[in-house]
Structure 1
Amino acid sequence: MINIVLFGPPGSGKGTQAQNLIEKFNLKQISTGDLFRYNMKNGTELGKLAKSYIDKGELVPDQVTTDMLIDEVKKPTDTSGFIFDGYPRTANQTEALEKIVKEILNGEISVCLSLIVNDEILVERLLKRGETSGRTDDSNEEIIRARIKEYYTKTAEVAELYKQQGKYVEVNGVGGIDEISEKLFAEVEKIK
């Protein structure tokens, strides 16, 4: 089983690249963004709570995110593994994910692939996405910059944990989509 943590700041292309990895390796994506949107759209208590943080440009607290993730991992699947997109973002989430993968999936995290993109490119991408997505957090440059800053502040420890395990790989997230995908595919092939 392949279990990938796909890492990168807001606007780095995690969602797009996750889709390409899914098709190539028969994986199931668990995107915290999708989990949040599903819960918010359906007005669940977890969704309302998540939205209150997202609208301010803040990251959702660990336990809310972890509870959503556990529900999703428990669903039956016939895939070769999972892509965790947007989770973990803290040391606590990293520990929780390793426990979930071990206890529920009888596996371990195979690799953490981190998409690296310059902040100004991230802001540009998110503002452009905000023009069509209707997402309030993608339409305000101040909120976008706060999200990016908070992402770096809170996730530095996660990168360090995966580096210590020898599972952290940085991939340049700027360029053509297919070009970036090929780099990611090559890293996954190394662990298969």
Structure 2
Amino acid sequence: MRIVLVGPPGAGKGTQAAFLAKNLDIPHISTGDLFRANISQGTELGLKAKAFMDAGDLVPDEVTIGMAKDRMEQPDAVNGFLLDGFPRNVAQAEALDAVLKAEGMELDAVLDLEVPEDEVVKRIAGRRICRKDSAHVFHVTYNAPKTEGVCDVCGGELYQRDDDSEETVRRRLEVYHTQTEPIIDYYRAQNLVVTISALGKVDEVTAKAMAALKK
């Protein structure tokens, strides 16, 4: 299957992408991984992306699209892939269609993870990270530490990242609504969109997604 995964920040796309890709036996292709791999390998596209990123500029669509095209042509993606974080806007969606058409391929589904905006804010703004080890992550509601502000694992101080503040989260949601959400209508016109609620436990959401995709 060839799937695009969409949803607002905080919808759990990365988590669901990993589980779905494993269940479907297809590679999980995320924009972040594409950038990191190309930059670390020193590819031409990676060097271009790094130059823009170092200058504090957005990486142009054509660079991102080129990376995605190269990745989708790898042997492990011959039977399908799951795209996470790409396409990010309608222009990228149109470019993806053109790339797939040129290769004689097409998308099978666009999985839309639906989460109420207040829940997104609650999920992200409630995160607390350990200063000693950023791998230790807690949540004031869903995974509260035994002692407020103290990491259960190493005793480090827990803090809220600037990116996780409610103000920043709401700005990210505005960007999502403006830039990314329109691709849902774009794909809905192609009868590709499958929408599920991303509320509930991780395995419950994965089960809902798998059932929806099978239909």
**TM-score class normalised by the smaller sequence:** 0.7 to 0.9
Per-residue CA deviations over 1:51-95 (Å, capped at 9, x if unaligned) read 735xxxxx7542232122122223221663110111112111111
Distance 2:126 2:31 in 1: 21
The reply on whether 1:155 has 2:153 as its aligned counterpart is no
Per-residue CA deviations over 1:96-136 (Å, capped at 9, x if unaligned) read 111222324x31011111001122322333345572369x6
User: For the Cα contact (< 8 Å) 2:194–2:213, is it kept in 1?
Assistant: no
Paired residues for 1:124-139 under 5 Å: 124-128=122-126, 131=129, 132=134, 138-139=163-164
Q: Secondary structure at the match of 2:76?
A: coil
Report the equivalent of 1:169: 194
Q: Which runs of 5+ in 2 are unaligned?
A: 138-160
Q: Which runs of 5+ in 1 are unaligned?
A: 54-58
Distance 2:170 2:36 in 1: 21
State TM-score, norm by structure 1.
0.81
User: For the Cα contact (< 8 Å) 2:34–2:67, is it kept in 1?
Assistant: yes
CA gap of 1:153–1:137, structure 2 versus 1, over 3 A, is: farther
Report the equivalent of 1:183: 208
Identity between Structure 1 and Structure 2 (%) = 38
Report the equivalent of 1:108: 106
The reply on whether 1:47 has 2:45 as its aligned counterpart is no
CA gap of 1:47–1:39, structure 2 versus 1, over 3 A, is: farther
Distance 2:167 2:91 in 1: 27
CA gap of 1:178–1:48, structure 2 versus 1, over 3 A, is: farther
Paired residues for 1:1-150 under 5 Å: 2-39=1-38, 44-50=47-53, 52-53=56-57, 60-77=59-76, 80-104=79-103, 106-128=104-126, 131=129, 132=134, 138-150=163-175
- Note the aligned Cα RMSD (angstroms): 2.8
Give the letter for the 1:156 counterpart.
Answer: E
Relative to its length, the structure with more helix (as a share) is 1
Tell me the number of residue pairs that the alignment of Structure 1 and Structure 2 aligns: 183
Distance 2:33 2:128 in 1: 16
Give the letter for the 1:36 counterpart.
Answer: F
Give the letter for the 1:44 counterpart.
Answer: L
User: For the Cα contact (< 8 Å) 1:14–1:115, is it kept in 2?
Assistant: yes
Distance 1:168 1:78 in 2: 21
Distance 1:129 1:68 in 2: 31
Q: Secondary structure at the match of 1:77?
A: helix
User: For the Cα contact (< 8 Å) 1:40–1:50, is it kept in 2?
Assistant: no
Give the letter for the 2:119 counterpart.
Answer: I
Larger radius of gyration: 2
